[in-house]
Amino acid sequence: MATTMSSQQIRSVDIDPKAESAVQMIDVHKWYGEFHVLRDINLNVRRGERIVICGPSGSGKSTMIRCINRLEEHQKGRIIVDGVELLDDLKRIDEVRRDVGMVFQHFNLFPHLTILENCTLAPIWVKKMPRKEAEEVAMHYLTRVKIPEQANKYPGQLSGGQQQRVAIARSLCMSPKIMLFDEPTSALDPEMVKEVLDTMVGLADEGMTMLCVTHEMGFARQVADRVIFMDYGQIVEMNTPDEFFKNPQHERTRLFLSQILH
């Protein structure tokens, strides 16, 4: 299998204490009950690297990136995020989550808070930032995602694309070192996909470390340093976008690409 080759390459990378890697996953396995959902995941993400993860539904791609901020727990192997290993220590997990932003398929904005409050909540309570400063930071990022004028509305009053951009701004307010995107455009109307992707491209251009689960292949071609294809809980193929799309090695990858690129 192609997996074995790529995982051996990664295995040679040791855990570096100075954390030049943003994320390291070493021999990670996870089970949901009897179901072996992640198998032998080995991945080393350098700082500033942009990685796109694709694959059929149920292939474990969401589970994999959710392991990085411990929304899911891995049962075997090691995960080191920004030099901190994810163990059962609650305090370290909160520390890691502070530095890892996440954008969800269904936005997960807090409907009882205004857009501004959504963005200032974590800086105020987690980072203990003064309210005024937090609001300035929030307005800065809301301006960057081009919706400062919506700051005092509630999430329910915004369109899907706007909500997703708020979700991105909300994560950025914590000045994360790594951003995880879990199918950020899958729940959007077709007309709104582009505004969200543009925001993500802007973020990538600024050198943010990004892991994106997405099927937007145009986005992958434009910004990704590496594209990962997953199936049956394994990394099946990993390559630069050029090679990945032009010259897929594994037949499962070829089949997948032929089905999504018409």
Partner 1 sequence: MSTAVDMPHFVRAKQVEALPPPNLARGPIAWIRENLFSGPFNTLLTLVVLYLLYVSVPPLLRFLVIDAVWTGTDRAACRADTGGSESGACWAFIWDKINYFIYGSYTISERWRVNIFFILLGIGVVWLLWLRAPRRDLGAVYFFWLFPVFSYVLLTGGNESFSARFWLGFAIFGSLVMALFAFVAAVLKTALRPALILGGGIVAFVGLTLAVVDFDFGLTHVPTSLWGGILVTLLVATVGIVVSLPFGIVLALGRRSKLPIVRMASVIFIEFVRGVPLITVLIMANTMLPLFLPGDMTVDRLLRPLIGTALFASAYMAEVVRGGLQAMPKGQYEGAMSLGLNYPQMMTLIVLPQALRIVIPGIVNTFIGLFKDTSLVAIVGIFDLVKTIEASRIDPNWAAPTIGITGYAFAALFYFVFCFGMSRYSLGVERRLASGQNR
Helix (H, G, I), strand (E, B) or coil at 33: coil
Tell me which residue has tokens 């959504």. 118
79 binds partner 1 (CB under 8 A): no
Q: What is the smallest separation between the CB atom of 125 and partner 1, expressed in angstroms? A: 5
Are 155 and 169 in contact by the 8 Å Cβ rule? The answer is no
Residue with smaller CB distance to partner 1, 155 or 161: 155
Distance of CA 21 to the CA centre of its chain: 15
Q: From 12-20, 77-85, 92-100, 193-201, give the range in contact with partner 1 by CB under 8 A.
A: 92-100
**Which residues partner with 234 through β-bridges?**
231
Integer Cα distance of 116 and 142 in angstroms: 9
Q: From 6-14, 120-128, 196-204, 217-225, give the range in contact with partner 1 by CB under 8 A.
A: 120-128
Q: What is the smallest separation between the CB atom of 173 and partner 1, expressed in angstroms? A: 9
Give the list of residues 6+ apart from residue 261 with CB closer than 8 angstroms, or none: 217, 245
Q: From 40-48, 98-106, 142-150, 192-200, give the range in contact with partner 1 by CB under 8 A.
A: 98-106
13 binds partner 1 (CB under 8 A): no
Q: Which is it for strands 50-54 and 209-213: parallel, antiparallel or unpaired?
A: parallel
Binding residues for partner 1, rule: CB under 8 A, are 69, 71, 89-91, 94-95, 97-98, 100-102, 104, 106-112, 121-122, 125-126, 154-157, 170-171, 174
